[in-house]
Structure formats: C-alpha cells, structure tokens
C-alpha cells in the first residue's frame, strides 16, 4: 500500500477498518496497560552505539532459528482469531510469511488448521503455539495434527494459567462468534458465543515444569517456552529441556506491572549463557527494535501485532509489506551500525540511556 510507510501506518489503517471488539482484543493490554506501554517505551531507553568506516557494502538479514535458515530474525507471533481481521485469516498471514522467508507460530485459537496453513503456504516454517486444555485429549489431538502437518516446534505459552483482566475487551463487550472456526479449541470450549476469558478459563492451570517432558514427547517436537521474564525461570527452562525461550510478557496482556521485555532480556540471556536460543516479543514495530533486541542477546524476535495490523488493513499484501518494512529497516540499521549481518550485533552496539 503506497500510503503505508511503517507499521504505525498499518496500525492506524487497521483501527479505522476494524469493529471495536476485534480492535480492542488486538491492541489492548491488561488492567492499566502499564506493561503494554512499557514494552514500547523500553526501545527508547536503549540507544545505539554505531561504528563507522566499516565495509557495509554487502548486508544480509538472514540467520537461523532452531537450526532452520530464515531470511529475517523475525518469527510471526501467535495471534488468535485471525479470521476476525481478514476472511483468509492465518492462511493469508502464512503466505506472506513464506514469501518473506520467516517462520510463523500458529495460535491454539487459530481459525485455520495446521494442514490448511501448510497447503496455503507451501514451504512455510510453521510452529505450533500450545495452550494445554483441562481436557488433555484435545491437546493430544492438537499436537498430533501439528506434527503430521510438518510443524517444526511447539511454542508452549507459560504465562497464562488464567486470563488477566483485559478491560478494553469488557468495555466493548467483545465476544468470539459462535461460528468462528477454531479447529483446536471448539472441542473444549463448545459452540456458544463467549468472551476470551470464558474460553481461556478452560485451560489447565495445573501445568508445571514436569509437564514439559510430556509435551515434548507427545508432540515429537522441540519445545520453546514463551513467557519467561526472570533468570530463575530461565534456569529451570534449560534444566527441564526447553529448546529455546521467548522473553515475553504476553504483549502486556497478562500481569500488568512486569518489566518491559527488552529490559528483562539481558537477565535471561545471562542466565541461559548460550545453552539455548533466546527470543523476545513485545512491542516490535521497527527493524531498529529488532536490532536492539539482537544486540542484547536475542537470536530473533516474535512480532504479532504489527503483522496483524497489516492483515487487517490489506490482507496478505499488508502482512507482506509489514515484513518487508521490518527487513528493510533492519538492513538499514545494520548498515548504519557498521554490521553486515545480525550475527555481528553485540552488546557494544547499544547502551541504556541515563534518563
């Protein structure tokens, strides 16, 4: 879209085109939304330390995640209910991700099955985001379907034993339509129209560290833990066999008052000490944000809202353009920092401002 020059432009277009309920769910946070705002504010607190007179005539944004080659250190984060944002839902997002050469994590509350997504976007690097329902049989079927469809990892979200108070949703009376296809959730939640809190109340709050082995075995895939913000939990994740960690506060949508993920990242990276890959989500809007996360030790980032802003505004083309913007902005940041690839970014390229 010619008028969109940044993900912020797509955010504005998405808000204009969406009904209040889906917009509240996509854009909002929990309680006072302090952590939601902090996720973005943290990127302003960390500033660059560029190096000059480096040969930056040949720039690449390519890297690997979990050993898989990708064109950009960005994974499309799991976002639920994507048919609410465009009729093609996750299939449109996946086609854009495949075109951009990036991985995509698919929500348990996806409106398309892993098989449908794989068929719509041949070659997509697809991860299965997992919530564990109280009915473990539903979760077993989900994991089996993910493995059969070629998913290469399970992203276990660990910060949602129950849904936080999301007041934007409540104020507008947001409900999930009863006819919205939810292939991995309908068997557990039934067919009545519900708000997200009703649906998430059916998740299993007893899931603990001992379940990691069960999930890894059942899914036959490496497990990425999403929702870690402390060194203590990072250590436990490594001890219990996690393949990677996502430093995440659920986009400011769970416990309000936890730190911005960019501020929490160094602590987790230090605790992990290179034993597993570390990713970051929360507030990614620019390629410069990606560069700061990588400089602080992340292998890659997960971006959820920004691609879905593109989806809501312009379908597959919008998602593709958002990913292209992130790629081009990251390439420019690398060039101006004196780096030729993501692997060259180090802690020496950023500093925390005094203010």
DSSP string for 121-189: STT-EEEEEE--BSSHHHHHHHHHHHHHTT--EEEEE-S-SS----HHHHHHT--B-TTS--TTTHHHH
Q: pLDDT at position 355, please?
A: 61
CA distance 14 to 10: 6
Is residue 109, in this structure, part of any structural domain at all? yes
* pLDDT digits 0-9 by tens, 227-257: 999 999 999 999 999 999 999 999 999 999 9
pLDDT for 97-121, tens place per residue?
999 999 999 999 999 999 999 999 9
Report if residue 154 sits inside a domain: yes
Q: Is residue 138 part of a domain?
A: yes
Residue range 1-20: mean pLDDT, rounded:
92
Q: What pLDDT score does 158 carry?
A: 97
Residue 157 CB-half CA count within 13 A: 31
| Residues whose CB falls within 8 Å of the CB of residue 218, separated by 6 or more in sequence, listed in order | 139, 140, 143, 144
Q: Which of 86, 250, 321, 349 is catalytic?
A: 250
What whole-number percentage of the chain has pLDDT above 90? 92
Give the burial class of 171: count Cβ atoms within 10 A of its Cβ; 0-12 exposed, 13-18 middle, 19 or more buried: exposed
Residue 1 has pLDDT above 70, yes or no: no
- Domain range for 308: 7-344
Q: Is it the case that residue 133 has pLDDT exceeding 80?
A: yes
- Whether residue 2 has pLDDT greater than 60: no
φ and ψ at residue 129, rounded to 5 degrees = -80, 135
Indicate whether 23 pLDDT > 80: yes
Average pLDDT over residues 267-280: 98
What helix, strand, coil percent values describe the chain, rounded to 5? Answer: 45, 15, 40
- Assessment of whether the complete model's pTM goes beyond 0.85: yes
- 316 belongs to a structural domain: yes
230 CA to centre of own chain? 18
- 301 inside domain: yes
Does residue 350 form part of some domain?
Answer: no
Tens digits of per-residue pLDDT, 212-234? 989 988 888 999 999 999 999 99
Number of domains in the chain: 1
Q: What angle do CA 24, 105, 98 make, to 5 degrees?
A: 110
Handedness of CA 302, 174, 120, 322 (dihedral sign): negative
The CATH number of the domain holding residue 162 is: 3.20.20.70
Please give the pLDDT value at position 13.
Answer: 98
Tell me if 351 is assigned to some domain.
no
Q: Mean per-residue pLDDT for 163-167? A: 95
The answer to whether 240 is a known catalytic residue is no
pLDDT of residue 217: 87
pLDDT of 207 higher than 70: yes
- How many Cβ atoms are within 10 Å of 55's Cβ, its own excluded? 7
pLDDT one-digit tens code per residue, 141-159: 999 999 999 999 999 999 9
Average model confidence (pLDDT) across the chain: 96
């Amino acid at each position: 879209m010619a008028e969109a020059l940044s993900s912020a432009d797509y955010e504005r277009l998405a808000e204009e085109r969406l009904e209040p309920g889906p917009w509240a769910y996509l854009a909002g946070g929990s309680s006072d939304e302090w952590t939601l705002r902090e996720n973005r504010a943290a990127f302003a607190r960390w500033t660059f330390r560029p190096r000059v007179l480096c040969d930056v005539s040949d720039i690449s944004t390519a890297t690997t995640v979990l050993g898989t080659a990708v064109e950009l250190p960005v994974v499309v984060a799991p976002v639920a209910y994507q048919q609410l944002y465009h009729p093609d839902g996750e299939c449109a997002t996946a086609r854009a991700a495949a075109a951009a050469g990036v991985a995509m994590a698919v929500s348990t509350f996806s409106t398309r099955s892993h098989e449908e997504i794989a068929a719509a976007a041949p070659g997509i690097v697809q991860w299965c985001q997992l919530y564990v329902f109280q009915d473990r049989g539903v979760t077993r079927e989900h994991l089996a379907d993910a493995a059969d469809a070629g998913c290469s990892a399970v992203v276990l979200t660990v910060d949602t034993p129950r849904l936080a108070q999301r007041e934007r949703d409540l104020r507008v009376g947001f409900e999930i339509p009863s006819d919205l296809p939810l292939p991995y959730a309908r068997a557990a939640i039934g067919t009545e129209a519900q708000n997200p809190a009703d649906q998430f109340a059916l998740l299993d709050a007893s899931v603990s560290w001992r379940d990691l082995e069960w999930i890894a075995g059942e899914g036959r895939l490496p497990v990425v833990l999403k929702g870690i913000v402390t060194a203590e939990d990072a250590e436990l994740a490594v001890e219990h066999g996690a393949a990677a960690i996502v430093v995440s506060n659920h986009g400011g949508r769970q416990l309000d008052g936890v730190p911005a993920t960019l501020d929490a990242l160094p602590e987790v990276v230090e605790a992990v000490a290179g034993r597993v890959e570390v990713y970051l989500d929360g507030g990614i809007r620019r390629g410069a944000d990606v560069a700061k996360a990588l400089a602080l030790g992340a292998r890659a980032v997960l971006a959820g809202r920004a691609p879905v802003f593109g989806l809501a505004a312009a379908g597959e083309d919008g998602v593709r353009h958002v990913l292209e913007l992130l790629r081009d902005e990251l390439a420019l940041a690398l060039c101006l920092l004196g780096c030729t690839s993501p692997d060259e970014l180090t802690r020496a390229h950023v500093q925390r401002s005094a203010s």
